């Protein structure tokens, strides 16, 4: 455990508090990653800043064109949100694959993204939703496509003390799917995962966004396969060709969880299943 845990009441108070704190500090949201890493002695900080109740990082809000999910909203609250259910089908499909109900009562999307893991289920689904991330640092704000936040395993574009404020998901009439292969049907880190969102028009794909987890150094946006699908009817041949294309876009590794060849093969299988599900 760190020597000190502070809990500012607002973002403004957080920025005022920072100069008085040890530089070896980290934010604490749901704690499911940071506490586990601390207990295992993998990561140690002198100070944790509890951001879990900051009002600026909570709530799910809607505008005419987007929905905004606060970075500290619990995964279980997203599952219950009518707006998220309506506008984020790929994210909603990912939630049953996310840890366990008790973990989902604690974990947040902000922590899922800041952790920078290539196997993060929530952010892989959000990349397929075409999400943007809103960041804040001492009064300055910026907005990035979420796919650009990830630089490598455990590496993100976040600056020192920069906070993830919210995720913005553009409102689109689309279908979504999330399929994951893990050591068990539920409650396991993925060997491979595929998130897909598709806008259809007259039976043809208007827009496709495909994201993959655990098969590249980052939650991967499959640029080529997504672009290739645009304008095509989802016939069995097109689906088969998309599966072949996506296998060429990933760069999996062999590790304790799985073998690179198996992971690559499963990306094709999972994409075929996801696209098949949109045909009925």
CA nearest to 149, candidates 166, 170, 173, 171: 166
- Which CA distances in Å does 7 have to 11, 35, 38, 160, 194? 10, 16, 19, 18, 37
- Cβ of residue 199: shortest distance to ligand FAD, in angstroms? 26
Residue closest to ligand FAD (Cβ): 111
Q: Does 114 help bind ligand FAD (rule: CB under 6 A)?
A: yes
* Torsion 106-112-113-115 (CA) sign: positive
Least distance CB 78 / ligand FAD (angstroms): 11
**Could you tell me the sign of the dihedral formed by the alpha carbons of 84, 85, 89, 91, in that order?**
positive
By rule CB under 6 A, what string of x and - marks binding of each residue 37-76 to ligand FAD? --------------x-----x-------------x-----
The CA distance from 36 to 43, in Å, is: 9
Decide whether 57 or 239 has the Cβ nearer to ligand FAD.
57
Rounded Cα gap, residues 58 and 73, in angstroms: 5
Minimum CB distance to ligand FAD, residue 189 (Å): 6
Site string for ligand FAD, 16-35 (x = CB under 6 A): ----------xxxxxxxxx-
The answer to whether 110 contacts ligand FAD (rule: CB under 6 A) is: yes
125 scored as a contact of ligand FAD (CB under 6 A): no
Place of tokens 């809000």: 61
The residues binding ligand FAD (CB under 6 A) are: 26-34, 36, 51, 57, 71, 98-99, 103, 106-108, 110-112, 114-115, 120-122, 163-164
């Amino acid at each position: 455990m760190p020597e000190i845990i502070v809990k500012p009441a607002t973002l403004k108070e957080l920025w005022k508090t920072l100069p008085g704190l040890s530089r070896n500090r980290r934010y604490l949201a749901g704690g499911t990653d940071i506490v586990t890493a601390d207990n295992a002695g993998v990561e140690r900080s002198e100070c944790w800043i509890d951001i879990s109740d900051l009002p600026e990082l909570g709530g799910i809000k809607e505008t005419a064109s987007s929905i905004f999910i606060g970075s500290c909203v619990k995964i279980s609250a997203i599952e219950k949100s009518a707006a998220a259910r309506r506008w984020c089908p790929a994210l909603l499909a990912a939630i049953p694959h996310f840890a366990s109900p008790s973990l989902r009562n604690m974990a947040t999307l902000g922590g899922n993204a800041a952790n920078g893991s290539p196997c993060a289920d929530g952010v892989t689904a959000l990349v397929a939703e075409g999400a943007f991330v809103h960041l804040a640092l001492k009064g300055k704000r910026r907005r990035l496509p979420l796919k650009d936040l990830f630089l490598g395993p455990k590496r993100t574009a976040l600056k020192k003390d920069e906070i993830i404020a919210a995720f913005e998901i553009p409102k689109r009439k689309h279908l979504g799917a999330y399929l994951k292969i893990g050591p068990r049907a539920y409650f396991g880190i993925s060997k491979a995962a595929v998130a897909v969102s598709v806008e259809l028009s007259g039976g043809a794909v208007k827009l496709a966004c495909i994201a993959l987890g655990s098969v590249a150094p980052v939650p991967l946006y499959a640029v080529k396969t997504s672009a290739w699908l645009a304008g095509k009817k989802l016939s069995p041949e097109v689906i088969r060709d998309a599966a072949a294309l996506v296998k060429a876009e990933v760069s999996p590794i062999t590790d304790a969880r799985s073998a690179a060849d198996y992971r690559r093969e499963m990306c094709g299988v999972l994409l075929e299943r996801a696209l098949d599900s949109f045909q009925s």
